[in-house]
Amino acid sequence: MIIKTEDFELEMSTGTDVYFASKTLGQNFKKWDDLEDNEKLRLEIIQKKVERLILESKEILSAKEITDNLNRDRRSGTERRQLSYDFHIPERRSGKDLRSRLDRRRK
């Protein structure tokens, strides 16, 4: 697991070397086997906390993705597939015949 911020970096996995770096404190390497049991435990707790933060971030981003997908089919807040049939109902037409030639069916 690698955690980076602007000023700090921590790289660790259970059973491997641990690397910590800071702009002000420099770099610090330790072998997992050289750590005290309480240090190992504390680092494992940090790792579990980070995993929970990652899952929380995933939930936030997934919720945003779902919202984005729902809104993707919309333009200016209106549903694009919404059809108003009012203009196609014969009773609502103007009554004026817009055809330019005679109806071939009428003779």
* pLDDT string in tens for the chain (107-residue length): 888 888 889 898 878 889 889 888 899 889 888 889 999 999 889 889 988 988 888 888 787 666 666 666 555 555 566 666 666 666 555 666 666 666 667 65
Dump strand ranges (E) for 1-107.
2-4, 8-11, 18-22, 26-30, 74-75, 78-79
Nearest to 42 by CA among 19, 17, 16, 14: 14
Q: What is this structure's pTM?
A: 0.52
89 φ, ψ (degrees, to nearest 5): -80, 125
